[in-house]
């Protein structure tokens, strides 16, 4: 059983790492949650419990630890729904409580572009520990081809770090 878990985690790590390389410059170093909370840059704060319709896919991030608690597993997704009477999109991250490794932190953020993916603003990262659900702030959707969203996630700990993985642009 342990070897099946190891094969799964190595395969998942390779997938996550590959997706992170494709994601390119979507790293979290240049942005902060304050870039989109409290109404900043056209975003709207929403409760972490808000659920909507899943769009643009979803994914999972797995971090293997060398200790007796071997994994930190987080799932992420992009959702849309009505917020304050407007159609909006947001990101959500859910962390596992039963497998959460020591010191691990799950991160989620949403990238929004209004110029056809030439540039974007990053909303987040927002951090969560094991057994938590957290959302990004929400941003209005549009029928314009120049506006697009994607949700990205990562798990970090004092030692290991996963690659960044993102949904496709929607």
Distance CA(108)–CA(154), nearest Å, equals 7
pLDDT of 69 reads 63
Mean pLDDT in residue range 67-85: 88
Mean pLDDT in residue range 129-158: 94
Residue 20 has pLDDT above 50, yes or no: no
pLDDT of 70 reads 67
- 157 phi/psi in degrees, rounded to 5: -150, 180
Task: State CA 149 to chain mean position distance.
Answer: 12
3-state SS assignment for residue 32: coil
Residue 5 has pLDDT above 80, yes or no: no
Residues 6 or more apart from 128 whose CB is under 8 A from it? Answer: 74, 93, 95, 105, 106, 107, 108, 134
To the question of pTM greater than 0.85 for the whole model, the response is no
pLDDT of 54 reads 95
Residue 113 has pLDDT above 80, yes or no: yes
Query: In the 8-state DSSP scheme, what is residue 43?
Result: -
Taking only the tens place, the pLDDT of each residue in 24-65 is 333 434 688 898 999 999 999 999 999 999 998 899 988 887
């Amino acid at each position: 059983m342990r070897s099946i878990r190891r094969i799964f985690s190595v395969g998942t790590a390779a997938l996550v790492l590959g997706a992170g390389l494709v994601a390119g410059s979507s790293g979290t170093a240049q942005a902060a949650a304050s870039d989109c909370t409290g109404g900043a840059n056209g975003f709207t704060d929403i409760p972490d419990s808000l659920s909507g319709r899943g769009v643009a896919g979803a994914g999972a991030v797995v971090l293997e630890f060398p200790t007796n608690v071997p994994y930190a597993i987080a799932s992420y997704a992009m959702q849309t729904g009505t917020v304050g009477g407007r159609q909006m999109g947001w990101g959500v991250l859910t962390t596992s409580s039963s497998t959460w490794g020591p010191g691990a932190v799950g991160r989620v953020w949403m990238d929004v572009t209004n110029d056809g993916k030439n540039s974007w603003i990053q909303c987040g990262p927002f951090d969560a520990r094991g057994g938590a659900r957290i959302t990004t702030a929400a941003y209005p959707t549009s029928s314009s081809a120049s506006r697009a969203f994607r949700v990205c996630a990562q798990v970090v700990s004092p030692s290991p770090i996963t690659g960044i993985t993102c949904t496709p642009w929607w």
